[in-house]
Amino acid sequence: TYVVTDNCIACKYTDCVEVCPVDCFYEGENMLVIHPDECIDCGVCEPECPADAIRPDTEPDMEEWVEFNRKYSEMW
Ligand code: SF4
């Protein structure tokens, strides 16, 4: 899965939301998040993010971000 990280805070762009083929972006409190179970790992959103906030969970120490994204995508 891909996850949104804190570079997203205060970013006003939604290019990532528009390109996602499965519509798995959600609004968090002050940033967007990706539902980790709905993301199909296509990677299309990553280069669209001008803030470089979208990272694959295969990078080190991403477990907390995965849980953060899950929490806020299931909150509403
Ligand atoms: Fe959507 Fe693909 Fe990005 Fe996952 S990797 S959030 S499916 S665009």
Sequence-separated (6 or more) residues with CB below 8 Å from residue 31: 4, 6, 8, 9, 11, 53
Distance (Å, rounded) from C-alpha 12 to C-alpha 61? 26
Q: Which residue has the tokens 């798995």?
A: 24
Nearest atom in ligand 1 to 23's CA:
1
- The mean pLDDT value of the chain amounts to 97
For residue 53 and ligand 1, the question of a CB distance below 6 A is answered with no
Checking ipTM against 0.85, whether it exceeds it is yes
Percent of the chain at pLDDT > 70 equals 100
pLDDT in tens, 26-62: 999 999 999 999 999 999 999 999 999 999 999 999 9
Kindly tell me if the per-residue pLDDT of 76 is higher than 90: no
Distance (Å, rounded) from C-alpha 35 to C-alpha 30? 16
Q: Of the candidates 48, 39, 40, which has an alpha carbon nearest to the alpha carbon of residue 14?
A: 48
* Residue 3 confidence (pLDDT): 98
Ligand 1 center to 12 CA (angstroms): 18
Distance (Å, rounded) from C-alpha 26 to C-alpha 72? 8
Nearest alpha carbon, ligand 1 atom 1: 20
> What predicted TM-score, i.e. pTM, was given to this entire model?
0.95
